[in-house]
Structure 1
Amino acid sequence: MTEARGSAGLNGTAYAPGTPCWVSLMVHGMAATQQFYGDLFGWRFQPGPQQLGAYVRAQLDGQEVAGIGQLPPDRHLPVAWTPYLASDDVDLTAQTVRHCGGTVGVGPLVADEAGRLAIASDPSGAVFGIWQAAAHLGASITGVPGTLAWNELITRDSAGVARFYERVFGYQEEPVVSADFDYLTLHAAGRPVAGIHGVGAALPRDRGAHWMTYFEVADVDTAVTHVDDLGGHVLKPAHDSPHGRVATVADPEGAVFSVVRTSR
């Protein structure tokens, strides 16, 4: 894990291809979800593109940080945070995903004047988005409480799926040299942008491979208590890690994410 600010294309510049540039959540209860995250992170909301149904962009001090959309009432899909990886050409990236053994489930399609998107899954089944920016570059602030801190793929083993992401997005990888810890960091444009954590048989059977979103908070223990008070659930209590204090939680609809106070 590393501080997101160093890898972000902020200050009005485009994100480098392969960089997680946005994170979005599709839910059944829009109003309740906005209330939860608004209370937890201090987010406020403004309407966004409506191609896939009702959609809002979360803002922190007027800066866009994440998206929340409405699932169709007849679609019983898992509720999960989804990272969007930047692309200069979403159509070409989608073709490459298919060629490398992944699946494209949505798009590519136009999201108003904001840009073009597709939603795909890697060969292990982990879902991610692809974003080709136009008016909307992605998150306009990171590295402060209430913003995206890191994205990490949780999968059975890192080696096989890493080759997929390297071929699709041109990442360079930096493995952690350890006999009992399967982890590697993905680099884009010379910067660390995401991680892949192989957990073997500890991979949750009810979720399978998935991307984990980390949000920065000022105090992890306080945030965990707040999650519980707001109707969420604590899945992995607050603990110290080499990268800072962290906990894994779920919102009232079951979307899993982590809160972290990164070491600086």
Structure 2
Amino acid sequence: MTQSETRRTPGTPCWVSLMVHGLAATQEFYGALFGWEFWPGPQQLGPYVRAVLDGKEVAGIGQLPPDRHLPIAWTTYLATDDADATAESIRHCGGTVGVGPLDAGEAGRMAIASDPAGAVFGVWQGGEHVGAVVAGPPGTPAWNELVTRETSAVGKFYQAVFGYAMEPAAGADHDHVRLCLDDHPVASLHGVGNALPRDKGAHWMTYFEAADVDAAAARVAGLGGRVLTEPHTTASGRVAMVADPEGAVFTLLRSGG
């Protein structure tokens, strides 16, 4: 398959990655929860593995240096054809570029940035690695949503940088919009006002597909993680917000049910 055949439309969420202190223990947790196996990934920034499901790459996990005490969180990466130009656009539109742009070997070129509300996200210019190559089965990233105080101002930032069209999310509350590319929703923004956690601030949330959300949430707790919101049904499907043993928060989703 050629690069042109697998090119991701700029702005499309294409990868999720997690940096932790205990790489081996984290692999054990997600392997038991989702059935992931792990392959070595680029080592330029330290030990890093790619999570694999049925031979297809779905996510990345890296190990933080012992002296780095950063928040442990899943990071959503948005595709770009030119990481350097996107980084410049992020700065011009009021965001901050904290890491890069830099090469991840032959895999591609990346940067880590934050929007004007402080939510961290990644930018990925695919080389040999274009991003996740499977979606839909349990254990794969199903959706990415920015949880922020209000969507209007930050929505303009993402529109300016990535060219999204915005539309109200069907069946949702008044400050919930979808980001669309080529008339296709690819991510969403959810303004939660004062319900935004003070200790977390604005953040991107990764949703992982689960065959049975209730059973998966119970498994999280049994593996040493925490259930932050009990399984419940929403317009998007059945969901539960959970955290892994190091505190990385994600949401389990059973689409449409």
TM-score normalized with structure 1 length: 0.94
Structure of greater relative contact order (alpha carbons < 8 Å, 6+ residues apart) = 1
1:210 aligns with 2:203: yes
Q: Which amino acid aligns with 2:165?
A: Q
- What's 1:133 paired with? 126
- d(CA) in 2 for partners of 1:39, 1:179: 33
- What's 1:86 paired with? 79
- d(CA) in 2 for partners of 1:11, 1:113: 16
- What's 1:222 paired with? 215
- Residue 239 and residue 173 in structure 1: after superposition, are their counterparts in 2 closer, same or farther (change >3 A)? same
1:29 is aligned, of 18, 22, 31, to: 22
- What's 2:184 paired with? 191
Q: CA deviation at 1:48?
A: 0.4
- Residue 160 and residue 177 in structure 1: after superposition, are their counterparts in 2 closer, same or farther (change >3 A)? farther
SS at match of 2:33: helix
SS at match of 2:214: helix
> What percentage of residue pairs aligned between the two structures are identical?
67
- d(CA) in 1 for partners of 2:241, 2:4: 30
Q: CA deviation at 1:189?
A: 2.6
Q: CA deviation at 1:11?
A: 11
1:109 is aligned, of 99, 102, 115, to: 102
SS at match of 2:217: helix
For the aligned residues, what is the CA RMSD? 1.6
- What's 1:254 paired with? 247
Say which is worse superposed, 227-236 or 172-181, in terms of deviation.
172-181
Q: CA deviation at 1:165?
A: 0.2
**Gaps in structure 1 of 5+ consecutive residues:** 1-9
1:238 is aligned, of 222, 225, 231, to: 231
Contact 1:151 1:213 in 2 (8 A): yes
- d(CA) in 1 for partners of 2:20, 2:200: 17
1:201 aligns with 2:194: yes
Contact 1:109 1:117 in 2 (8 A): yes
- d(CA) in 2 for partners of 1:212, 1:180: 18
Q: CA deviation at 1:188?
A: 1.5
